[in-house]
């Protein structure tokens, strides 16, 4: 019983839909668009099957003259061969130059707003002409224009660029279609659109009778079909991560360029690392980030500082473990005695969060060589040190006032020790070094000399109000366990 009734309703629907199909074709709607409006939940992209099963249009002689000469009144000729040929030509022109090495792509389409208006006009018409089929229908067509275009046209593109369509591909081809009559079509509804309202929101303000008054079906037959306004091809960024050591006290982390354009330092950590990666991966641009930063005159020793480089629109993406070791070695050769990197690897975009979280939450170790213009006993100095943890209140240092907002920030020193050094102190002064473990973002130089009292307490005050200068500062450990360590033994494997 149940089976029978279901079959019956299906048959009934199918018959009615063929009536819809004929009606739309008569009005200058192309085969694909007419098929898209057959409001069956069974509908899959099987136009050819549908036509054959229903005995329609096996050859083009039965196509009404109007639709043969003029473009479809809904899609504006989007499925015409000449449009696809133009798309293929433009894609080819770009890919032959860019030469991406990934073997998949995804298609994004930007269509003229006219298409949406014309679909809506058709839907409103069908609701009044075939109420039994469309009255209860929440929307039509069931098959979207973009989805259909991808289905019918992607094989030509795939063949041309020798890549497969894959919705998860990192390589995106965006095709923007334009239509000369778009403004004219849009004029009627533009009176309804307020401010930045988009078309979908504007359509919601109109009921069917309002809409059909503005856009009666069939809408004007287009003089010209859609055109390919642009083809943009871009690959998702690739992220490299690693750790760097900086051995120079005359090397800035990022390019140091004064406001008048004059360059202060010839090189930077960022450039030594990023330029090589950019070249090898044939990327358009790069963005360097790191877990905190050090001053020009500060070295970063120990296990180094975590960094990441985003490579924008890289042409190359297939790199092996061995390739990455080669890049790492080249960067280290170029870095000479200035920097070295290790644990270089490709990481996921989502991992960038680990880098930024590490910057804010993890501790850092420092070794700072100081001098006081007074002969002091190291053991006496040691006894004066406060117990840790010690909370500082740091007002934004004078030297960074130009780039940071003025605020008083509490910072914690978790460990603080003092010791003598092996070199003799200049006459009348004492050289010693302190080792600190501090909260990320603590200004060490300011803690030592006090920054005119802007950091409280400070070492100068703690040791009896004696002026202290910083001779040298090193970062000895950045306690961020990221990125994962590389197993270098892998390199010896074939």
Question: Per rule CB under 5 A, is residue 226 in the interface with Zn ion?
Answer: no
CA 95 – CA 98 distance, rounded (Å): 5
Spatial contact of 119 and 180, defined as CB atoms under 8 Å apart: no
- Which residue reads 């009896």 in tokens? 464
Q: How far is the CB of 122 from Zn ion (least distance, A)?
A: 10
Print the binding letters for residues 383-402 with Zn ion: x by CB under 5 A, - otherwise: --------------------
Find all residues with CB under 8 Å of 59, minimum gap 6, and list them.
none
Closest CB to Zn ion among residues 180, 312: 180
CB of 118 to Zn ion, least distance (A): 9
Of 141 and 292, which has the nearer Cβ to Zn ion? 141
Out of 20, 24, 30, 418, the residue judged to bind Zn ion by CB under 5 A: 30
**Region from 14-22, 28-36, 183-191, 245-253 binding Zn ion, contact rule CB under 5 A:** 28-36
Distance CA 239, CA 341 (A): 16
Across 202-319, where does the E strand assignment appear?
227-235, 238-246, 285-290, 298-312
- Kindly tell me which of 72 and 324 has the beta carbon lying closer to Zn ion: 72
Q: What are phi and psi of 368, to 5 degrees?
A: -130, 120
- The piece of 31-39, 105-113, 144-152, 334-342 that touches Zn ion (CB under 5 A) is 31-39
**Residue whose C-alpha is closest to residue 112's, from 231, 226, 20:** 226
In the window 278-317, what residues touch Zn ion (CB under 5 A)? none
Backbone phi and psi for residue 232, each to the nearest 5 degrees, phi listed first: -115, 130
Tell me the site size for Zn ion, rule CB under 5 A.
5
Token pair 């659109």: residue:
193
Among 11-19, 72-80, 373-381, 382-390, the segment contacting Zn ion (CB under 5 A):
72-80
Which residue in 20, 24, 39, 72 binds Zn ion (CB under 5 A)?
72
**Distance between CA 478 and CA 242 in Å, rounded?**
13
CA 96 to chain CA centroid, Å, is 24
Q: Which of 166, 295, 297, 469 is catalytic?
A: 295
Candidates 17, 21, 28, 33: give the one binding Zn ion (CB under 5 A).
33
Scanning residues 73 to 92, which ones bind Zn ion (CB under 5 A)?
Answer: 74-75
Stretch that binds Zn ion, among 70-78, 85-93, 173-181, 308-316 (CB under 5 A): 70-78
Q: Which run of H or E residues covers position 471?
A: strand 468-478
**Is 295 among the catalytic positions?**
yes
Alpha helices in 251-346 (DSSP H): 269-280, 321-335
The residue ranges that bind Zn ion (CB under 5 A) are: 30, 33, 72, 74-75
The set of catalytic residues is: 295
């Amino acid at each position: 019983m149940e089976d029978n009734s279901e079959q019956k309703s299906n048959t009934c629907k199918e018959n009615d839909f063929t009536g819809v199909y004929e009606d739309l074709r008569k009005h200058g709607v192309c085969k694909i668009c007419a098929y898209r409006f057959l409001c069956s939940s069974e509908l899959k992209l099987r136009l050819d099957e549908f036509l054959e099963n229903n005995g329609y249009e096996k050859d083009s002689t039965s196509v009404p003259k109007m639709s043969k000469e003029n473009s479809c009144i809904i899609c504006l000729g989007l499925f015409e061969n000449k449009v696809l040929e133009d798309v293929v030509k433009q894609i080819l022109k770009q890919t032959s130059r860019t030469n991406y090495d990934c073997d998949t792509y995804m298609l994004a389409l930007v269509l003229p707003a006219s298409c949406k208006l014309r679909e809506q006009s058709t839907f409103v018409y069908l609701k009044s002409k075939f109420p039994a089929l469309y009255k209860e229908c929440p929307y039509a067509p069931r098959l979207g224009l973009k989805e259909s275009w991808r289905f019918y046209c992607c094989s030509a593109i795939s063949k041309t660029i020798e890549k497969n369509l894959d919705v998860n591909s990192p390589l995106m081809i965006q095709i923007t279609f334009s239509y000369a009559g778009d403004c004219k079509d849009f004029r009627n509804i533009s009176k309804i659109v307020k401010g930045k309202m988009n078309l979908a929101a504007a359509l919601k303000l109109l009921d069917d009778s309002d809409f059909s008054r503005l856009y009666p079906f069939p809408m004007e037959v287009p003089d010209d079909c859609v055109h390919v306004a642009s083809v943009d091809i871009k690959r998702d960024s690739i992220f490299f991560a690693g750790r760097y050591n900086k051995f120079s006290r005359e090397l800035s982390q990022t390019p140091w360029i004064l406001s008048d354009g004059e360059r202060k330092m010839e090189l930077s950590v960022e450039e030594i690392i990023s330029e090589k990666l950019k070249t090898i991966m044939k990327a358009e641009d790069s963005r360097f980030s790191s877990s905190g930063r050090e001053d020009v005159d500060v070295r970063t020793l120990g296990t180094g500082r975590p960094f990441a480089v985003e490579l924008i629109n890289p042409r190359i993406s297939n790199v092996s473990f061995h390739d990455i070791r080669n890049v790492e070695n080249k960067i280290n050769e170029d870095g000479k005695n200035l920097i070295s990197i290790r644990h270089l690897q490709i990481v996921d975009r989502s991992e960038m969060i680990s880098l930024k979280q590490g910057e804010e939450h993890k501790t850092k170790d420092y070794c700072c060589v100081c001098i006081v213009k007074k002969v002091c006993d190291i053991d006496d100095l040691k006894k004066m040190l406060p117990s840790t943890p010690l909370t500082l209140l740091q007002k934004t240092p004078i030297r960074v006032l130009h780039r940071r907002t003025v605020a008083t920030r509490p910072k914690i020193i978790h460990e603080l020790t003092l010791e003598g050094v092996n070199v003799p102190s200049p006459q009348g002064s004492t050289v010693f070094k302190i080792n600190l473990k501090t909260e990320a973002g603590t200004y060490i130089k300011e803690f030592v000399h006090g920054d005119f009292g802007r950091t409280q307490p400070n070492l100068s005050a703690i040791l009896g109000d004696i002026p202290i200068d910083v001779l040298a500062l090193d970062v000895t450990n950045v306690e961020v366990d990221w990125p994962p360590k590389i197993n270098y033994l892998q390199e010896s494997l074939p």
